[in-house]
Amino acid sequence: MSPVEQFYADLDVQDTVTKRGRKATNMYFTLTTEKAIIAYNKETDYSLRNKIYREHIDYAFNKLVENIYHTFKFSYFDVPYEDVKCEVVAFLNEKIGKYTEGKGKAFSYFGRIVKNYLIIQNNANYAKLKRRVETTVIDDDRNLSLEMSISSYQESLKDFTDLWVSWYDENMDNVFTNKRDVLIADTILEIFRIRDSIENFNKKSIYILIRERTGLKTQNITRVLNVMRNDFEKMFTNYQKSGLIR
């Protein structure tokens, strides 16, 4: 019996017990939703995956985004709410495979992802708004040679960072064997991917963001950050010399 078929078999038993006297819950994201996500991730039959997603996950994801969006009153989105919701639900679909049984409650896990995503996008939109209304001052004494050198360095760093994130994502399990460390590293990589959107965050804010998603202490985060920072510095030095990621 496949994971999804087993889920439905267990659900039939649960429904029978409910009809005998238990009150059904009216919550939108329940333990059943969590079990459905686990079964979805384990299932290899795409038709069964689609079925369980439509019937037991899709509504919960949509409602989760809706509640968090309206609770925190994000106000710097210049597109309709429905477009924002579709974007965030699509992001949850990208991350659904990262959730595994025993990694905490699914509701909390995906709730953190939604909240962090909306905070990052909202702050990025606010930063863009500020840039549009600020006046640019041109300095006649600019050092164009120095600016070109800095620009070249920044471009090289940007290209390397994109390659490094892809390399680290593929090799992360070889670098970290502890599930806790892998979770932290995955969160750090996600911040690197969306780094252009969080340029106004300071170091403390980034630590808070990682702690909110992982639920782990600062010392655990710092240890993983130090390993990744050392790898980054060594590999960037090599990249500048050879143009290769090693």
Q: For the residues of 230-241, what is the DSSP string, one character each?
A: HHHHHHHHHHHH
How many Å apart are CA 193 and CA 197, to the nearest integer?
9
Q: Is the pLDDT of residue 52 over 90?
A: yes
Report yes or no: 165 and 189 within 8 Å, Cβ to Cβ. yes
Q: pLDDT tens for residues 219-234?
A: 888 888 889 888 888 8
Q: Are residues 117 and 157 in the same domain?
A: no
Q: Are residues 129 and 167 in the same domain?
A: no
pLDDT of 243 reads 72
Q: Are residues 202 and 228 in the same domain?
A: yes
Tell me the pLDDT of the chain averaged across its residues. 80
Q: Are residues 194 and 159 in the same domain?
A: yes
In the chain, which residue ranges form alpha helices assigned H by DSSP? 3-19, 31-42, 46-56, 58-72, 81-95, 106-133, 144-175, 179-193, 203-214, 218-242
Report yes or no: 116 and 213 within 8 Å, Cβ to Cβ. yes
Q: Is residue 139 part of a domain?
A: no
pLDDT of 161 reads 84
More confidently predicted of 147 and 118:
118
| 3-state SS, residue 132 | helix
- Final residue before a domain boundary, out of 73, 102, 134: 134
Q: Is residue 142 part of a domain?
A: no
Residues 6+ apart with CB under 8 A from 99: 37, 38, 41, 106, 109, 110
Report yes or no: 49 and 4 within 8 Å, Cβ to Cβ. yes
pLDDT of 39 reads 95
pLDDT of 21 reads 45
More confidently predicted of 15 and 173:
173
Report yes or no: 52 and 43 within 8 Å, Cβ to Cβ. yes
Q: Are residues 2 and 116 in the same domain?
A: yes
pLDDT of 168 reads 87
pLDDT of 15 reads 61
Q: Is the pLDDT of residue 12 over 80?
A: no
Q: Tell me what percent of the residues of the chain surpass a pLDDT of 70.
A: 80
- Final residue before a domain boundary, out of 65, 99, 134: 134
Among 112-116, 189-193, 205-209, the least confident range: 205-209
Average pLDDT score over residue span 12-20? 56
Banded model confidence at residue 159, pLDDT cuts 50, 70, 90: confident
Q: Tell me what percent of the residues of the chain surpass a pLDDT of 90.
A: 26
More confidently predicted of 22 and 46:
46
Q: Is residue 141 part of a domain?
A: no
Cα–chain center distance at 14: 33
Report yes or no: 109 and 103 within 8 Å, Cβ to Cβ. yes
Domain interval for residue 243: 149-246
Q: Are residues 58 and 156 in the same domain?
A: no
pLDDT of 135 reads 43
Among 69-83, 132-146, 187-201, the least confident range: 132-146
More confidently predicted of 171 and 55:
55
Per-residue tokens: 185: 């590293």
Q: Are residues 169 and 101 in the same domain?
A: no
